[in-house]
Amino acid sequence: MYAIVKTGGKQYKVAAGDIIEIEKLDAEVGDKVQLDVICVVDGGNVEADPEKAAGTTVTAEVLDQFKGEKQLVFKFKKRKNYKRTKGHRQQLTRVRIDSIGAQKAAAKKDEPKKAEKAEEAPAKEAEPVEALDAVQEVEQKAEDAANETAATAEETAEEVQEAKAGDAEAAEEATEE
């Protein structure tokens, strides 16, 4: 389920649990605020009439009040030596959508669930062992290939030396004649 809400002259698509940054709201950190709903989509059911969708409440919790990134404003008129630079940082509010209508955001994970995950961890150790065998197999193949390359290089070096020796003998015979 998601809704389209309007705040600060902009529209945002939100679902329960989403964190969005909107234009500054007059609310303290931790306060609950309600946002104006324009459209609600619940699976195949779409309520696009703003008057009917207004019956659905979207509540959000204010997480932070902050300034956005600096926006540079540069004014320039050619051939008039007119250049002006100004900066602007918009005041923003970060909110977390707690609920849309009757749907609540998912609860935060409890510590007992972490304990259950810790018990499941030994079962997952079997996979890395198989992966380790595969890695060792690949390393062995790479080592074999390197040894073959080295042997081929040695053979080539011997052939080059024999060829040079043969050329030297031919040159000595030519000088003797």
CB of 82 within 8 A of CB of 76?
A: yes
Nearest CA to 25 out of 60, 77, 69 is that of 60
Q: In which residue are the tokens 């609950």 written? A: 32
Query: Which pLDDT does position 131 carry in this prediction?
Result: 58
Q: Where are the domains of the chain?
A: 2-107, 121-176
Report the amino acid identity of residue 3.
A
Q: In which residue are the tokens 């705040």 written? A: 7
3-state secondary structure of 63: strand
Mean pLDDT of the 132-136 span: 70
Q: Which H helix or E strand runs over 89? A: strand 82-100
Query: Which pLDDT does position 152 carry in this prediction?
Result: 79
Query: Which pLDDT does position 37 carry in this prediction?
Result: 93
The answer to which of 20-34, 91-105, 135-149 has the lowest mean pLDDT is: 135-149
Q: How much of the chain, in percent, has pLDDT values that exceed 90? A: 47
122 CA to centre of own chain: 29
